Structure 1
Amino acid sequence: MINEYEKLLAGLDDVNWAGLDHAYGSAEDVPGHIRTLCGSDDEAREQAFRSLFSSIFHQGSRYSASPVAVPFLARIAVAGPAAAREDAMWLLTRLAVDWHDEYDVTTGINVTGWRAAAAEWGPEELLPWYDEQLAAETDPDKRAELQETRDWVAAGNSFDSRWSALQSYDAVLAELPGLLVLLDDGDARLRTRIAYLLAWFPEFAATSMPRLTALAGQDEIPVTAATALLAAGLLGPSSMVRDITPYLEAEDPLVRWAAATALIRLAGLDEAPVGPGLVDRAVAELAAAARHPFDRVTDYCEGDLHAHIERTLQTLPPGPDSAAVRETLDACLPRIVWDHYGFRTRSAIEKLFPAPQPHPAPRYADLTTAQQQLLSDLAGHRHDWLIRSSADRLRDRGLPHTREALQTFVGAPSETPAQ
């Protein structure tokens, strides 16, 4: 490891990693992976990140080793090797919030509800139950098993995923004061990453909000400015409306989209000073983005612009301009850029192809524009599992139901799918 980064890992070897766990058992391999992040071998560093993502953050699950790794990752994000800093920030973000947690990408995070739910299954709540079971159990084998589990809980563990995830969230929260320096970093990707991360910490909003609004107004990189602006809209009180409204006139369409999205979130707050006219302007901006999507996107909704627009508009109550909302939702329906669970894809297939196709099946050119768009997006989708999860619905409607068949049908070039 390069000596100049030794100080970042001070205390790493003082942790009893063997006494902590991750997805594959003992976490004794974690310090080696963290140390590799500060090394000069690019291939080894990439492998170390992959190992950490799959162990301390396994498909969204967090473990006792996860929050303990956070301070070291935060130091690397701030002052580690240039090649490691952005990945460290991304891992910190995923350790803090994942799609399984108590937040919605269009309305913000409900930390109060998350803490209340997690508290019901914390070690303090579980220990009395185990003590009662031990006192009543007479079978030696069952007592030994209960005692082992009771000791694990007493060490500060819980079986509840919300509780374990909250430990990592709080560990990242504790590092935010030090991570704020990234808002002034010369690397726009790091400024963007910290702006996105701050969006999910309302308990830190008194400190982060002024910095986010300043970044939105000053940063010359549209993706960074848009990310900061939407973070401020997710964190802010209803009074933020007056600060965000001017951005509807921004030159860059991505910034205008962020302002519109933030305003619709603020419109749902009590006593929000968002009149119907302003909401209509916001809807019009989202409609423009849906019709003419931009190449640059933010991390919100994993970069899926149309899914984000759809979810944003679904938070609006019915109003006099509902036709504009419906038209925009119709424009979003066939666009499948990323679909975390496949729900949007299957719903779009059902809505756009409500009945089986006639026999012989129509040519691609004979389908409606929306139907063509859906099948084209699926044919070129980066994840083959999405097509597999929707195969039954496609087959039932007489449509191509494999990647290869879809690519042939729409006339798209064959690509190697991501698994």
Structure 2
Amino acid sequence: MINEYEKLLAGLDDVDWASLSHAYESAHDVPGHIRALCGDDDEARNQAFSSLFNSIFHQGSRYSASPVAVPFLARIAVAGPAAARADTMWLLTRLAVGWHDEYDVTTGINVAGWRAAAAEAGPEEFLPWYDEELAGATDTDERAQLQELRDWVAAGNSPDSRWSALQSYDAVLAELPGLLVLLDDDDAPLRTRIAYLLAWFPEFSTTSLPRLLALAAHDKDPVTAATALLAAGLLGPPSMAEDITPHLDAADPLMRWAAATALIHLANLEETPVGPGLIGRAVTELTAAARSPFDRITDYCEGDLHGHIQRTLRSLRPGSNPDTVREALDACLPRIVWDSSGLRTRKAIQELFPAPLPHPAPRYADLTAAQQQLLGDLAGHRHAWLIRSSAERLRDIGLPHTQEALQSYIGTHGTA
């Protein structure tokens, strides 16, 4: 451990981690992983991040140890080793919102609804049920298991994931005042990460909105500025459109994309001042981004620009220009960069290949440009499981259904 970071971990060993849980039962190993984040061993630090993601944030689930870890992680994000700060911010974001940011990217998170659902699933709601089950249980092992669970609930825990996730969200919310200093950090990735995190805390928007708008207007890093601009659009009231609209004329296409996305979100709100002409400009900008994607990406939808544009356009209220929207959606259709469930990929295959191909399959070069784009994206995709999840559909239409076979098909038949 590097002594200069010891102060960040004050109180770490005072927590009874063994009494807390994570995905692998006892959380006794969490303090060791947090301490490794402040060490000078890069391999150990990377392993610690991996272990924390897999334990206190396991496939999106949060546990009793998750909110307890948040204050220590926040300190590391603000003043920890340079190599650990941005990744720590990403872990804090995941602990706060899970994968909600992907699903709620066009609407912002409905925290009020989340709180209402969690209130109906708190420990006090489950305790009577466990008492009733215990009263009727006769098997010794069953009673012991029920008693253990009952004691855990009586200690202030709930088996409902909405409740446990909200505990972590609120823990991060409590740290936001201290994390705001990152908006002025010299490191652009850290400014970007805090801007992105703020997008999912509407209850903090009175404080965060002016800072986000200032960041969008003045930050020299285009990714940071665009992230802040879209965050402001997700958090702001309908009147925020007045602040967003000038950015449609920005020189940087990434800023124009962020402004267009924010305006479409605002257009879906009640009493919005965003008229059809402005929506048309926004759709046109998103179409241009889909056709000519930029190399720089934001954290929204994990950098999947086309997936993000597609979700945004599908959120438009009925009555928007269908021809223009269809053109933009068609440009997004074959682009598969990241698809966490594989659903968008399978829909794209179905739409671009609505019927089985003749046998033998046509040459890759004879396919349509959109079909080529989709298969090319799949052949070079970083996650082979995405192709495995679509293998049955690919097989049914007469196409290679493994990544290796797709690569061979494209390489062998890609030219005349």
TM-score, normalised with respect to structure 1:
0.96
Would you say 1:145 and 2:141 are equivalent positions? no
Q: Is the 8 A contact 2:101 2:108 kept in 1?
A: no
Q: Residues 228-248 of structure 1: CA distance to partner in whole angstroms, max 9, x if unpaired?
A: 000000000001000000000
Q: Deviations over 1:368-398 (max 9, x none)?
A: 0110000000001000000000000000000
Once the 2 structures are TM-superposed, how far is the Cα of residue 144 of structure 1 from its aligned partner?
A: 3.1
Amino acid at match of 1:294: F
Deviations, residues 115-143 of structure 1 (Å, cap 9, x unaligned): 11112111011112223333454555443
Q: Which residue of 1 aligns with 2:387?
A: 387
- Give the superposed CA RMSD: 1.4
CA–CA separation in structure 1 for the residues paired with 2:374 and 2:103: 28
The 8 Å contact of residues 102 and 111 in structure 1, kept in 2 or not, is answered as no
Q: Secondary structure at the match of 1:157?
A: coil
Kindly provide the CA deviation profile for residues 38-88 of structure 1, in whole angstroms up to 9, marking residues without a partner as x: 111111111111111111111111111111000000000000011111111
> CA–CA distance in 2 between the matches of 1:135 and 1:334?
58
In the alignment of these two chains, the number of paired residues is: 412
User: Superposed, which structure 2 residues align to 1:77-92 within 5 Å?
Assistant: 77-92=77-92
Counterpart in 2 of 1:362?
Answer: 362
| Structure 1 counterpart of 2:144, one-letter code | A
Post-superposition Cα deviations, 1:289-346, rounded to whole Å, max 9, x if no partner, equal 0110000011101110001101000011233621010011011000000001000100
CA distance in 2, matches of 1:363, 1:383: 25
8 Å contact kept, 1:121–1:158: yes
1:13-412 paired onto structure 2 within 5 Å: 13-99=13-99, 104-137=104-137, 140-319=140-319, 321-411=321-411
Is the alpha carbon distance of 1:173 and 1:258 closer, same or farther for their aligned partners in structure 2, counting shifts above 3 Å? same
The aligned amino acid for 1:98 is G
Structure 2 runs not aligned, ≥5 long? none
> CA–CA distance in 1 between the matches of 2:408 and 2:231?
42
Instruction: Extract structure 1 runs of 4+ deviating beyond 6 A.
Output: none
Contact 2:38–2:80 (CA under 8 A) maintained in structure 1: yes
Query: Which one is further off, 156-165 or 62-71?
Result: 156-165
Equivalent-residue separation in structure 1 for 2:251 and 2:158 (angstroms): 50
The answer as to whether partners of 1:130 and 1:146 remain within 8 angstroms in 2 is yes
* 1:204-235 deviation line (CA, Å, top 9, x unaligned): 11110010001000101110000000000000
Letter in 1 for 2:193: R
> Is the contact made by 1:60 and 1:100 (CA closer than 8 Å) also made in structure 2?
no
Comparing 315-324 and 254-263, the one that deviates more: 315-324
* Greater mean deviation of Cα atoms: 190-199 or 143-152: 143-152
Question: What residue identity is the alignment partner of 1:379?
Answer: A
Mapped to 2, the partners of 1:93 and 1:102 lie a distance apart of 12
Residue identity matched to 2:129? W
Q: CA deviation at 1:103?
A: 5.5
